[in-house]
Structure 1
Amino acid sequence: MQFSFYSKLLGSLALLGSVLTLQSNIAHAQANVANYPSKTVKMIVPLTPGSGADIAGRIVGKSLTEIWKQPVIVENRPGAGGLIGTGVVVNSDSDGYTLLVQSASYAANPAIYKKLPYDLKSLTDVSILGTSPYALVVSAESPYKSIKDLVDAAKAQPGNIPFASAGVGSSTHLAAEYFNQTMGIKMLHVPYKGSPEAIQETIAGRTAYYMAPLQTAIGQIQGGKVRVLGLTSATRSEIAADIPTIAEQGFPNFEIGLWVGVWAPSATPKGILQKINTDINKALQEPEVKTAYAKAGITIKLMNLAETEKFVRSEINKYSKIAKDAGIEPQ
C-alpha cells in the first residue's frame, strides 16, 4: 500500500515537472518572439551582387535595420543556380536570424534538378519583396532590331545561336526557355555566374540575348549599352514607358515576371515568421523604399504568410510546366 502511494506521488511529481517544463518552454518561446530581433539579422542572397534579389534585399534590409533597431546584413553566397546559398539557410538555426532572399529561381530550381541538396519542406515562405518584368536585351551593336529579327535568325540556325542566363536552373534561364518555346525556336544556352556577367557578355556580343531582370539592366539600358527588344510584362513599365512589351508585338498572351521572396528554416516559430512578414510589409510602404523601388522598376506586392505560400506554390508549378514543355531534362 505504501509503495503504491509513493509510486503515485512520484508519478504526480513527474507530471508536474513536465507541465512546468512545458510552461517554461512556452514562456521562453514567447519571450523570444517578443524580443525579436535582439541581434544582427543576416539575409543570405544566393546570387551575385547586383542581381535582382540582391538589389531588392539591400533596399528592404536598410529599412528593416531602422524598424528593428538592429543591423540587417546582406551576404552574397552565389553558385549552382542559388543552391549553395540556399543550403546555408537550410542548415542554419531556426531562430529568424538567418533568412534567405532569393529570386524566382527558388521556384525554378526544382524543375531543373533531379535532386536538390535540400528538401523544400526545410524552408517556409515568409514574404514577397516585389516583382518586376524581364527585359530581353541584346547588344547595342546587335543586328537584331526587333523580336522578329531575333526569331528569324534563330529559326534559320536552330540550336546554334547562344543566349545567356544567370545560371542553370535560374529564373532567367527558364524565362528565356519560355520565350524560346513560345516563339518556336531552339537556341544554345550559355549559363553565367550571375546577371552582371550575363549582361556584360551580351553587351560584348558573345551571346545573342539575355532575359535580364529590369532592375539589374536599367543602368545599361539608360546608358545605351544594350538594346531592349521587349519587356515580359503584360503592360509597359512606368520606369521604361517607351519600351514595348513582347505581348504587344504580336504575342498577346506572353507574360512572365521576376519576383523576389524571403524564406526561413521551417522550424522557425510562427510568431517570428509573422513578425518578419508584418515588418517587411511595413518597410515596403516606407517612402524611401517606394522611391528606390520605382527607380529600379520593382513593383511592390504586399502579401501575408498564407498568400505568400499560395503564390510560391503556384510559381513552382508554373516553372515545372515551362521546363517540361521546353523538353528540359532535369540534371
Structure 2
Amino acid sequence: MQVLQRFLLSVCSGVLAAAPVLALAFPDKPVQLIVPYAAGGLTDNLARVIAPALSARWGQPVVIENRNGGGTSIGTAAAARAPGDGYTLLLTAFGYIGNPLLMKNLPYDPAALVPVTIVADAPSVLFVSAKLPVNTVPQLIAYAKAHPKGVMFASSGNGSSPHIAAELFASLTGIDIVHVPYRGNGPAMNDLLGGQVQAMFDSSASMSHVRGGRLKALGVASEAPVARLPGVEPIARLGVPQLAGFAAGGWFGFFLPSKTPADLQQRIYADLRAVLETPEVHEAIERAGVEPRLMTQPEFAAYLRAEHDRWAPVIRERRIQLD
C-alpha cells in the first residue's frame, strides 16, 4: 500500500526516469492490450471500442487479451512483468488501487506500472431485480433489515468497485447483505436479470433492462443528478440521513510498465488522446454507459491517489480481502 502511494506521488510530481528511445519508430509489430476482466464486461467493451481506432492510427493490430481472475491480479501481474517497450498496454479499473489494499500476497509490484490516462468514469446505479418487492432505497433498507442476509449483491468480482460500493452502502445503512462475486459484469448481470441475486451497483449501460421491465433503478450513487439518467435520483438525496453524500462509481484507465521510457510513454499518451477525442470513439464510449474523460499522467496519478485514500478506510472497516 505504501509502495503504491509513494509511486503515485512520484508520478504526480513528474518524477519519471527519462531514457532515450526512438518513439517515432513505434510500433512496428502488433501491440498487446491486456484486459484483466472477462470478455463481455464493461472494461472489455471499452477495450473493443478503443483498440480498432488505435490500430488504425498505428497501422498495427492491437490485440485484446482477456486475462481475468485473481481479482484482476493475474492480468495486472502479466502487464507489470512485460518489457517496457510499449508493446504491452493494460486497460483496467478499480483493481489497480484495490489490490494493494485487498491482497496480503500481491503477485506484482504496483510500482512496476505507471498510469497513462483515464478514458472514462461513471457513477454507479443501484439496480435491483424486478422480482424484489421494493421500489425505493428506503424500502430496500427496510426489506434487508427484515430479511437478514436475504439480499444478495452481485459484483464483477471480489474487491471490484461494485463490491466496495455495496459494502459501503451496507455499512452506512446497517444492513446485513450477502456478496456474490462473479468473473466480470456480464455473468453478474445475467444472474441479476434471472433473479438469482437481488441487487447490484452497475453503470448506466444496464438502464436498458429497466426500460424492458427486468430491473428497477433505485438511485444513482452521485451527490448531484446525472443528465443521462432522467428520473433516477441521487441516492444521497433520497431522505436517508446515513446516505447523505453517498457516491460510488467506476473509472477505466490505461497503464504501461513503468520501465517504459518517458518519451515513449508520452507518445502513447498522445496517440490515446487523439483516438479518444475522435467523435466516433467519444460517442461509442457514451453508448457503453460511461462518461468519456481524459487526464494527463500527473492528473491521473493524483486522481488514483485520492481514490486510494477514499476507499482504504472502507476496505479496512469491512475487512475485505482477496486472499
TM-score w.r.t. structure 1 length?
0.85
C-alpha RMSD over aligned residues: 2.0
The runs of 5 or more residues in structure 2 that have no matched partner are 1-17
Pair 1:132–1:72, CA change in 2 (3 A): same
Pair 1:30 & 2:21 matched: yes
CA distance in 1, matches of 2:319, 2:210: 32
204, 208, 216: which one aligns with 1:227:
216
Find the residue that maps to 2:78 and give its secondary structure. Answer: helix
Offset at 1:329?
A: 5.2
Q: Counterpart of 2:112? A: 122
Pair 1:223–1:40, CA change in 2 (3 A): farther
Find the residue that maps to 2:179 and give its secondary structure. Answer: strand
Higher relative contact order, structure no. (Cα contacts within 8 Å, ≥ 6 residues apart): 2
Paired residue total? 303
228, 233, 253: which one aligns with 2:245:
253
Pair 1:180 & 2:170 matched: yes
Pair 1:110 & 2:106 matched: no
Pair 1:43 & 2:33 matched: yes
Please tell me whether Structure 1 or Structure 2 has the larger radius of gyration of its CA atoms.
Answer: 1
| Correspondences of 1:1-80 after superposition (within 5 Å) | 29-31=20-22, 33-80=23-70
Pair 1:328–1:158, CA change in 2 (3 A): farther
Offset at 1:330?
A: 6.2
Offset at 1:209?
A: 0.4
Cα displacement string for residues 26-64 of structure 1 (whole angstroms, at most 9, x for unaligned residues): 99x432x12112221111111112222112222222221
Q: Counterpart of 1:243? A: 232
The runs of 5 or more residues in structure 1 that have no matched partner are 1-25
Pair 1:278–1:234, CA change in 2 (3 A): farther
Q: Identity over aligned residues, as a percent?
A: 34
Offset at 1:161?
A: 2.8
Letter in 1 for 2:46: A
Q: Counterpart of 2:259? A: 267
Offset at 1:159?
A: 3.6
Offset at 1:271?
A: 1.0
Contact 2:161 2:249 in 1 (8 A): no
296, 299, 302: which one aligns with 1:307:
299
Offset at 1:267?
A: 0.6
The structure in which a higher percent of residues are helix is 1
Pair 1:204 & 2:194 matched: yes
Letter in 1 for 2:21: Q
Contact 1:176 1:211 in 2 (8 A): yes
